Amino acid sequence: MSGANSSSLTPGYFILNGVPGLEAAHIWISLPFCLMYIIALVGNVGLIYLISHEEALHRPMYYFLALLASTEVTLCTTTVPNMLCIFWFNLKEIDFNACLVQMFFVHMLTGMESGVLMLMALDRYVAICYPLRYATILTNPVITKAGFATFLKSVILIIPFTFLTKRLPYCQGHLIPHTYCDHMSVAKVSCGNVKINAIYGLLAAILIGGFDMFCISVSYTMILRTVVSLSSVDAPHKAFGTCTSHLGAIVITYVPALFSIFTHRFRGKSISHHVHILIANLYLICPPTLNPIIYGIKTKQIREGVIKLFFKEKDALDIKQSQ
């Protein structure tokens, strides 16, 4: 009997309501998100292609950047197309299991994104503090193992989300006031006790984001100490010049992420629900959109690679037309 009751309290589907309170503006809200998604797709896929084909970019820093680009473009692809379907075609229904899968990938990939930013900080630490040993420390096998370890950490810590959410009884309706299946947004639809979900969600955020931010902070503290001790006048400027793109990526990733995480758990009346939903979506789409632009503008080797690739393609086209 209890099995039957448990089964009856597991919904077949949820309704994603988009941005509550701004339903009339869904079409207008969708336009910047659609544009940002196109930029993110073109920018990140182009960056991955450039790094894989340009031999000058076959270095640890750019391997980590390619890993970040692939993570971020996959992350925004798990949410933005579904969100646009809600805004444009009013397709709000999502299967219960599909919702859990989306929830897993959203949180796993955000954890992976944070981990890759941490690896990039360690890369800058080795490059600046141990420049002569850089190539021997960060070999291809080491980079592969570091990337796999980051992926594994994120998967192990996020998998419990699906089990904690699936065990809950859902007897308060199927409506989720969000554009995608977020862990706490789904859990709050339940009529059961979500205290364990909230505690574990916060613990996972600390173990992933907290640990990564600690490593980033230590890395940049050591970098700062090394740079300050350099005798050359131009050396500190050059050293920090290689870090500016990464620092920009950290800011646009962690600031909205931390806002979204903590307002979900401690949101008061001062923050409107639609503001929280918009910030939660921006934190998934802004880094994939802006990171390729930041790295393209600030990194000389990437700019040169783009120019070289463009003229190579142009020359090949001219030769083909002349034949």
pLDDT at residue 93 in the model:
95
253-309 per-position pLDDT tens digit: 988 887 776 665 565 556 788 888 998 899 899 999 999 999 988 888 898 888 887
List, in sequence order, the alpha helices (H) in 130-243. Answer: 134-137, 140-166, 183-187, 195-205, 211-228, 234-241
Dig out the tokens for 55 from the structure. 């031999």
CA-nearest of 112, 109, 91, 89 to 101 is 109
Question: Is the pTM here over 0.85, yes or no?
Answer: yes
What distance in Å separates the CA atoms of residue 148 and residue 245, rounded to the nearest whole number? Answer: 24
The pLDDT score that the predictor gives to residue 313 is: 61
pLDDT at 6: 47
d(CA 273, CA 264): 9
Residues of the chain with pLDDT under 50: 1-6
- The predicted pLDDT at position 4 comes to 43
